[in-house]
Chain A
Amino acid sequence: MTPCAFTTELAEDPCFAVEATAGLRQRWPDVGVSRGFVLPRARLGGSLASGPVGVDVEVAAIRTGGEAGYLGVLGESIVPRVELWRAVGVYEPRDGLVLVGSAGLIPDRFVAAVDGGALVGGALPYTLDRALLDRSDLGGGVLLHTKSVDVALDATSGEGLARRERNDGLDVTAYVDVHPGEHLHVQGMAREGSRGMDRARDHRAALRVLVDFERVEAGVEGVSAWGVDADPLRTVLGASSYALVQQGPVAGALRADVTSYGSAGLRVSGFAAVGLGLPLAAEDPPARVWLGLEHGRDDAAAAPLAGADALARWTSAFLLVDVHLVHPEAP
């Protein structure tokens, strides 16, 4: 992962990054909302460092009407949102041991670990996609980095930047990334948190295993949520697995997700995609064109409208261009 914006690390040199995924989607059953220009991701970020201290900023485009809102992109309803805004300080007391302190709108480390570049066809990380974790939160944290283990502890408000008038709670998140070898990461997080002014519980625990070889990246993760959207009684269990294979300019991506809403049932979804890197000769292409198929289905009780089984299955084909530009390029 490039040490610039969209990562949990501080870039050593000033840099900026642009990430965007846009394209066309055709959905079945075709009910008219199937064909359309989609902009699942558009982010602009930058890092500025001077010696051991620096700042990161990241701005993303969002649809104000939400993903179910039929509004956005061409009108005023797509707006910029600050996703990250933090000051970072690095202290290296001895070789192999690094302490990184950060404060501001800091990233969720479990999300950020798989939120950069075109890991899986430009798709959102599973925990973001199912709204089980947020990309960032307001607060501060400390990361202890060694050769084989990263450990972090973050204290945040749980309400992010947009809801700053309610930021009198405290979420405490522990994160660990064990990387015993070059190719293996075992990442875990646990959060004791609350949501809303009534401070309903909003706890999370998650575990991920990632393997990262030259041509293959793959991961499997599970997450458990106690309390969702300020409803302390709701519990959600989810799991996702994904893989990305690259050979020259050609890449292939697979992902399968399953989310359990307790007695309401399951949502199952997944996609397969092939990508072609541009330019064709690039080792790590800054752009990819993805062609893929996605399928999802809900149990009737877990469908957006309970009981409406006819609305609970969908398939879509997508053609996406995924651009990831970093300046200057990392060595």
Chain B
Amino acid sequence: MRHACLPILLLPACADPNVDARSAWLHEAFYVQDAAWVSRPELVVKYDAMQADPYDFLRGTSGVWYADLARPHAGREPTSLVHDPREGAVLLFGDPHPENLSTCRAGAVDSRAQTVELVDLDGATYGPWPVDLRRAALGLALLAEPLACDCDAELVAGLVRGYQDGLEGRPIVYGRILDELLVDAAEDGTQREKLDRLAPIGADGRAFALSETLTVVTTEERARTERLLTSWAQARDLRVLEVARQHGVGVASIPAERFLVRFDRGDDGPDDDDLVQLREVLDPPAIPGLAPPVAVRFADNAARIRSARALWSRSDADVLADGIAADGVSYKTLAESSWFKSVDHVKLGVDWAEGELTTEDLVGLARAIGHVLATGHTRAPGADGAESGDAIRASFDAATAEDELVRMLASDRATLLDDAARFATLRERFGPQLGFDL
């Protein structure tokens, strides 16, 4: 790469006068987002996934998206939905794209009750509520992008309608996509499909089926996971039986350290076995809201994850979910069970191609997401410890929200697709890890 080295102040300094401004900023924003992971080879796997699919690019760029939202420049789309300072410190999901929506087995570990939640709370922190809606609208549009349904306005209308339903306390309408997912989850969950696949019963009893994506833990990892899980298991009267390292799961968090844990409730046989995922959690992106500095509300990311469970419509949506910390690193636990099934944009694409999915179904999904967002925003205490619902309800206007979100979506989607193309070019120029190799 050639740089124009200008003889300034008697020494050659090397700013590139021909640099593409957006690419340069994007490259830096990727570094800031992924700085904690630049020494991990899995970062390339994450970038491969993001380059292969615009939806996965969205999943892998929430930090970049928020950084862009926060930059003070005249081209930003202004919101007119926030009128009360309390609306700037609502507990948000942070990354409410459709694939973070999951069926859950609510209640005890042997319960058959179900709910649907945005289970991934990695990005949860305080911020202005319209930001969650904006990010959700972008996720829905990217999900619909390959379907060519030309249905942005309908999706936004569904999202806003669902949000209004949630604010007004109407019951959630899941729609066909989630209804079918709930049926599949109940069926596979009852049959313990995931447990039997990942830890089948063999001649010596149940054990992990080790593979490229499920490997033996090192001695250090075993000791660390024991420290992490001891009090977690004791609090639930569980016995940890086996731990394995899990690789290549998710998109944004592919480089995160992840373990699969097999446990039981005391019986020696395999029938009471179950699985939980243990995953490293980093700082969430800073969501632009109140002018910094803002006071500390979470001692660490484990505390943040625990607090953010208040966003779920049922506090027992996943009784295994928790935030735990050891050695200065935070982790979260989430049930790894067939009862927990997420929306899959690839599968929806296939269903669409086969004529089994309609625009109405997608709008139903959007409406459900809107409802889940509103329920979370109003249910979870804001930064002041009080419910945020009154402040949001006082400001919310469905027509204004719809107009604003449609306008922002057009801009956000164009920017994201443009950024995805720039990302591919940057990888060509700087290498598969964008040149962040240590």
Contacts and interface: CB of A to CB of B under 8 A. Distances in A.
Interface in B374-391: 382-386
17 contacts: A30-B384, A33-B383, A36-B296, A67-B293, A70-B296, A75-B299, A153-B11, A155-B11, A165-B438, A203-B15, A231-B28, A232-B21, A261-B72, A304-B289, A306-B78, A307-B82, A311-B291
B130 to A, nearest CB: 8
B288 A305 contact: yes
A53 B158 CA distance: 70
B28 A308 contact: no
Given A67-B294, A165-B38, A192 B13 contact: yes
A266 to B, nearest CB: 10
B79 A296 contact: no
B383 A31 contact: yes
Query: Chain A interface: which size bin?
Result: 35 or more
Interface in B270-295: 283-284, 286-295
B16 interface: yes
Interface stretch (A96-104, A168-176, A210-218): A168-176
A170 B289 contact: no
Most buried by B among A171, A232, A304: A304
B232 interface: no
B25 A230 contact: yes
Interface string A253-264: 000000001111
Given A32-B384, A40-B293, A308 B82 contact: yes
A76 B329 contact: yes
State which size class the interface on B falls in: 35 or more
B76 A264 contact: yes
Given A70-B126, A305-B128, A170 B11 contact: yes
A199 B14 CA distance: 7
Contact of A304 (B27, B29, B70): B70
A302 interface: yes
Nearest to B283: A65
B38 to A, nearest CB: 7
A37 B294 CA distance: 10
A301 to B, nearest CB: 6
Contact of B297 (A33, A64, A234, A302): A33
A132 B21 CA distance: 18
A249 to B, nearest CB: 28
Contacts of A76: 300, 325, 328-330
Contact of A231 (B25, B74, B301): B25
A193 interface: yes
Contacts of A170: 11-14
Interface in A231-250: 231-234
A316 to B, nearest CB: 9
Given A38-B293, A69-B125, 17 more contacts: A31-B382, A32-B385, A34-B295, A68-B287, A69-B283, A70-B296, A71-B297, A190-B9, A198-B27, A200-B21, A234-B73, A265-B72, A298-B72, A300-B78, A304-B290, A306-B76, A311-B88
Contact of A66 (B15, B80, B292, B299): B292
Contacts of B291: 267, 296, 298, 303-304, 311-312, 314
B169 interface: no
Contact of B79 (A64, A65, A173, A308): A308
A36 B296 CA distance: 7
The residue among A30, A34, A70, A199 with the most chain B CB atoms within 10 A of its own CB is A70
B412 interface: no
Contact of A68 (B20, B74, B292): B292
A311 B74 contact: no
Contacts of A200: 15-16, 19, 21, 24-25, 28
Contacts of B131: 305
Interface of A: 25, 27, 29-38, 40, 63-77, 153, 155, 162-163, 165-166, 169-174, 190, 192-203, 227, 229-234, 261-265, 267, 296, 298, 300-308, 310-312, 314
A225 B349 CA distance: 47
Contacts of A173: 9
A199 B296 contact: no
A38 B292 CA distance: 12
Interface string B409-438: 000000000000000000000100011111
B384 A70 contact: no
Residue among A197, A203, A234, A298 having the largest count of chain B Cβ atoms under 10 Å:
A197
A305 B88 contact: yes
Interface in B1-52: 3, 6, 8-17, 19-21, 23-25, 27-29, 31, 35, 38
Contacts of B371: none
Contacts of A197: 27-28, 31, 430, 434-435
B82 A229 contact: no
Contacts of A35: 295
B76 A229 contact: no
Nearest to B28: A230
Given A75-B298, A77-B300, A165-B38, A193 B28 contact: no
Given A172-B9, A307-B79, A71 B14 contact: no
Contact of B85 (A31, A153, A230, A231): A31
Contacts of B84: 310
